[in-house]
């Protein structure tokens, strides 16, 4: 197996061929913020929080989806990236309807945590207050599109781990939303096995267990990568 050597934030790092910049950085304990990235499923590069600068590239590149190549020089925390991440975060908040004070995920939300981490104290962009729906038709779970950031984690866990493929992304641009089945109420989609993996995967309060009230959302994120490891490597780690 061949190995690539590269520099991340000035540090020399060697990784297996095929690893991404994010994997290389994580191995070297260099933090890169992520939101849509989820251990155990394929990367989507949807949220753009993990963008890094690579010497020689005019574009910012998503660390979760860019291979770590021989001789690369990567910067993960430049002033440009910092200001970009903050702006990106503001846009995520301005795009949906996030009323943290009454949200099931309040205090246990990756979007909230990341907003704090990138130093977002307010949004410079006007909130759009889009008119979005809440679907409570499923007997156990609910989805509140107001809080969805279109990270597609639910789409990927349902397809790649559970194999049910209940979720998809419909429409384009600002009209994008997550659909269940053929744009049916979630409770009407026969494919759904009610396994709850999407509840565990969702970084925000968009997908939740019914009956949960403010700040009561709990998730078992590690279960997802545990399942993948068990299936692919026949290793039961818990």
Partner 1 sequence: MTRTIVVDPVTRIEGHAKISIFLDEAGEVSDARFHVVEYRGFEKFCEGRPFTEMAGITARICGICPVSHLLASAKTGDKILAVKIPPAADKLRRMMNLAQLTQSHALSFFHLSSPDFLLGWDSDPATRNVFGLIAANPDLARAGIRLRQFGQTVIEKLGARKIHAAWTVPGGVRSPLSEDGRQWILDRLPESFATVSLALDLFKDMLDKALKGEIDIFGQFPTLYMALVNSKGEWEHYDGHLRFTDSHGNIVADGLSEDDYSQFIGEAVEPWSYLKFPYYQPLGYPDGIYRVGPLARLNVCDRIGTDAADQELQELRDLAGGVPTSSFLYHYARLIEILACLEKLQILVDDPDVLSSRCRAQGGVNHLDAVGVSEAPRGTLFHHYQVDENGLIQKVNLIIATGQNNLAMNKTVAQIAKHYIHGPEIPEGLLNRVEAGIRCFDPCLSCSTHAAGQMPLHLQLVAADGQILDEVRR
114 binds ligand SF4 (CB under 6 A): no
Does 228 engage in binding with partner 1 (CB under 8 A)? no
Name which of ligand SF4, partner 1, none residue 134 binds, using a CB cut-off of 5 to 8 Å depending on partner kind.
partner 1
- d(CA 158, CA 225) in angstroms, rounded, equals 13
Interacting partner of 210 out of ligand SF4, partner 1, none (Cβ under 5 to 8 A depending on kind): partner 1
**Distances in Å between the alpha carbon of 147 and those of 46, 87, 144?**
16, 18, 6
148 binds ligand SF4 (CB under 6 A): yes
Residue 220, both tokens = 């078992």
Interface residue with partner 1 among 56, 58, 173, 211 (CB under 8 A) is 211
Cα distances from 115 to residues 55, 132, 148, 196, in angstroms, run 27, 22, 15, 26
Is residue 215 a contact point for partner 1 (CB under 8 A)? yes
Whole-number Å distance between alpha carbons of 217 and 143: 13
Rounded Cα–Cα distance for residues 175 and 172 (Å): 6
Give the span between the Cα atoms of 64 and 152, in whole angstroms.
14
Q: 57: phi > 0 → left, psi -120 to 50 → alpha, else beta; which?
A: beta
Q: How far apart are CA 224 and CA 41, in angstroms?
A: 9
DSSP assigned state of 186: G
Query: Which one of residues 3, 14, 134, 191 is an interface residue with partner 1 (CB under 8 A)?
Result: 134
Q: How far is the CB of 7 from ligand SF4 (least distance, A)?
A: 33
139, 173, 190, 235: which one contacts partner 1 (CB under 8 A)?
A: 139
* Those residues with Cβ within 8 angstroms of residue 110's Cβ, 6 or more apart along the chain or in another chain: 35, 203, 204
189 touches ligand SF4 (CB under 6 A): no
Interface pick for partner 1 out of 142, 158, 180, 197 (rule CB under 8 A): 142
| The total number of residues written for the chain in this structure | 238
Among 5, 75, 108, 137, the residue binding partner 1 under the rule CB under 8 A is: 137
Candidate list 91, 136, 195, 228; residue touching partner 1; CB under 8 A: 136
Residue from 80, 128, 133, 165 in contact with partner 1 (CB under 8 A): 133
Site size toward partner 1 (CB under 8 A) is 18
Strand partners, 53: 60, 75
Does residue 67 interact with partner 1 by CB under 8 A? no
Interacting residues toward ligand SF4 by CB under 6 A:
98-100, 103, 105-106, 109, 111-112, 143, 147-154, 178, 201-207
Interacting residues toward partner 1 by CB under 8 A:
101-102, 133-137, 139, 142, 144, 187, 210-216
């Amino acid at each position: 197996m061949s190995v690539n050597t590269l520099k991340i934030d000035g540090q020399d790092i060697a990784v297996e061929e095929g690893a991404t910049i994010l994997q290389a950085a994580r191995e070297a304990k260099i933090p890169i913020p992520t939101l849509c990235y989820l251990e155990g499923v394929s990367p989507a590069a949807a949220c753009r929080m993990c963008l890094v600068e690579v010497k020689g590239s005019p574009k910012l590149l998503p660390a979760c989806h860019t291979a770590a190549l021989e001789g690369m020089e990567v910067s993960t925390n430049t002033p440009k990236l910092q200001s970009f991440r903050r702006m990106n975060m503001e846009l995520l908040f301005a795009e949906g309807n996030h009323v943290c004070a009454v949200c099931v995920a309040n205090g246990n939300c990756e979007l909230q945590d990341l907003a704090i981490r990138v130093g977002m104290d307010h949004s410079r962009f006007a909130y759009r207050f889009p008119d979005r729906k809440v679907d409570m038709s499923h007997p156990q779970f609910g989805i509140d599109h107001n809080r969805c950031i279109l990270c597609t984690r639910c789409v990927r866990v349902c397809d790649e781990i559970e194999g049910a493929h209940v979720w998809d992304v419909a429409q384009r641009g600002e009209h994008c939303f997550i659909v269940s089945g053929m744009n049916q109420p979630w409770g009407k989609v026969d494919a759904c096995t009610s396994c709850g993996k999407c509840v565990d995967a969702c970084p925000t309060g968009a997908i939740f267990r019914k009956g949960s009230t403010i700040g009561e959302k709990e998730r078992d994120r590690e279960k997802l990568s545990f399942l993948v490891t068990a299936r692919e490597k026949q290793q039961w780690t818990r």
